[in-house]
Amino acid sequence: MPTVSIITAAYAPSAEFLPETIASVAAQKMPAGWDIEWVVQEDGAEPFLAEMFAGVSNVSYAANGRQLGIAGTRNLALERASGGLLRVLDSDDLLLPNALESLIPHFLGGSTQWAVGQADDLMTDGSRVSWDPLIPTGPVPAGAVNNYAIEHGGNWPIHCAGLMLRTDMVRALGGWAGTPNDEDIILFSALSEICDGYNDPSVTWLYRQHAGQVTRTASWRAQSAVGRHIALQRVNAVRTLGLISTGTPPVDVAGGERLRVDQPVKDHDSTEYL
Residue 172 has a pLDDT of: 96
Superfamily of 3-273 according to CATH: Spore Coat Polysaccharide Biosynthesis Protein SpsA; Chain A (3.90.550.10)
End-to-end CA distance of the chain: 42
Residue 255 has a pLDDT of: 45
Residue 111 burial (CB count, 10 A) = 11
Residue 254 has a pLDDT of: 44
Residue 271 has a pLDDT of: 47
Residue 224 has a pLDDT of: 80
Mean pLDDT of successive 10-residue segments in the chain (274 residues)?
96 93 97 97 96 94 96 98 97 97 94 97 94 96 97 95 97 96 96 97 95 66 85 95 67 57 60 48
Amino acid at 189: S
This prediction has a pTM of 0.89
Buried b vs exposed e over 51-76: b needs ≥16 C-beta within 10 Å? ebbeeeeebbbbbbeeebbbbbbbbb
Residues with Cβ within 8 Å of 207's Cβ and at least 6 positions away in sequence, in order, are: 93, 119, 120, 121, 122, 159, 161, 162
Residue 274, SS3 per DSSP: coil
Residues with Cβ within 8 Å of 108's Cβ and at least 6 positions away in sequence, in order, are: none
d(CA 146, CA 261): 13
β pairing state of 3-11 and 128-129:
unpaired
Residue 261 has a pLDDT of: 73
